[in-house]
Structure 1
């Protein structure tokens, strides 16, 4: 009997718990033992799941009870010319997806962007947030806490920043609802996505608040942050990075490459992305920005659940005075990082290397800004391609031709 088989049997007999296997062997053997156990009890064939190409120990900070890895096909779109505040030049965009025709569509959009001279992109606002909720005796005490917060901003900043050598508090905004006070801390987390950084730092600030006021901390997150849920506050105030990419495409390129007209694209965008989304009560006024955000998140090791906030995007399209097509995509809350989390995994690190943004940037924060700009340009390419496909009525035929 192999070591893995022996360990699996010991778990089955209750001698060892499933999560304790790494205490008895290395990470790869522990994963093998779990895989044997799960395969035996479920009847599943986990051969492909066990055929991963990295040391399981690398993934220990990212996953518990590891049995293997799920492999998602990775493709590239581009190259596309990006003129950003942090990223400039020609870049291939890495996208991990199981949706056929997605990369082909983004690739077509990239080609049109390039034919128009490339896309511009800028990060317009930065700040990861965490918003604890405090309980008070009522509105008088709630307003007193809000006032105390404003009067002691420097002390709160000092307490929070004592926990990190990288994060900086940029503001703390109080929101009062009866005997509830929410304090929305915003941080510049440099090249880290920064959720853990913000949480730990805010916890330290909360200890100061409880020590010096009559308020009681109810929860370190009061959902006004807002993380991994649709929220108007993120669409309005931003979270992570607020980014815009835009392009002006000559009318002849629209007609020759996209087989439609600037007017048709602009009308579809208004009636579909703006009016249709408003009627639906949507927080995202776009065609499929989440597609590119999700695919590039998976390819570069981002927190995939934060695609929820990444879909907070508005696409605009209009005909210029000269008859050309202006298109923009503004993503309000794109939460990305190039250090920490899943960015350390080998294949995801390679995805960042494709873009040239792996690790910390110089100056700090510039690599995460660059990643945000690349994702937004990819979203712009995807929006342009889909709107044009609708304008030329080629959407269904394109999927049919690709066998999807």
Structure 2
């Protein structure tokens, strides 16, 4: 038997605590016979190789000398060995040294797939979120146990999660305020669709683009879709389509009227016939994507540090509200109004909820259920 076979037998004896097995010539393998088979300069080479293997195994520094000596004594490293075996045998010796506590767990089974959102469901959708997380690719598998590695999923009022494989991951997805409709760019139809999850009906929206901003009206009836030189408004009940000309960016809604960007620090409210209702300008509106207009169009909520500013139609600050949030929560965004006196906030924090509903007069807040998981993700708010 070769010197390599002798070293294998010696390593096995270390693991089992039994004497080394006899070889074909009737002799037992020993550290001495293993050393005898090695070149004259193998002692230095084995020590260096042993130390390298121990470092590769991330053994604590104080334990390295003893383990290195053990490897050297076992003669599993010295001499010419196949390149693929030293680390394996060093690992076996490490297990023998560490005892029964060092157990390599079996490979975890693949988690089950998340279910696909059915055509129709009984419960409304609270929110949807886009997952694009490559930090833990071994833990987040596409559309697996917890969530897809890239794609959209939605969460119902009960906490049930579904994936949306037909929604283009890079495009916008919106949930209506009543949680009964979804709007997204369909990969199968190659166009934007409105999915009524109560009936299962799919309503196509005419557009050749997928990089569009979508926004449902507060009553969930109308869907606005931003286009290069117009905003297309679709009635989700009748299917009627109206086109509002203009190259302004879509900000959202004020009741049944559109809110569009006006300038770097201004917005304007227009009717669906494109007639101007109001033009509001203020330094606080330098990021219109963070501003949201009340259903009656008279107040605008915009975040400012850890406060929410309430502006009037003249652009003046009416109130400065300090939301009642946990100490670790950080106010990032005001999503939309949730009625005449409440707004939806995005305020992630350590071990706390991330979505809150705030009273615009008192600052009192209430967390949205099942929302802690959405921190740092692209989300869309539905029924709250």
Q: TM-score normalised to the size of structure 1? A: 0.19
Task: Give the structure with the higher percent strand.
Answer: 2
Higher relative CO (Cα under 8 Å, sequence separation at least 6) belongs to 1
Q: TM-score normalised to the size of structure 2? A: 0.20
- The structure that has the greater radius of gyration is 2
Task: Give the structure with the higher percent helix.
Answer: 1
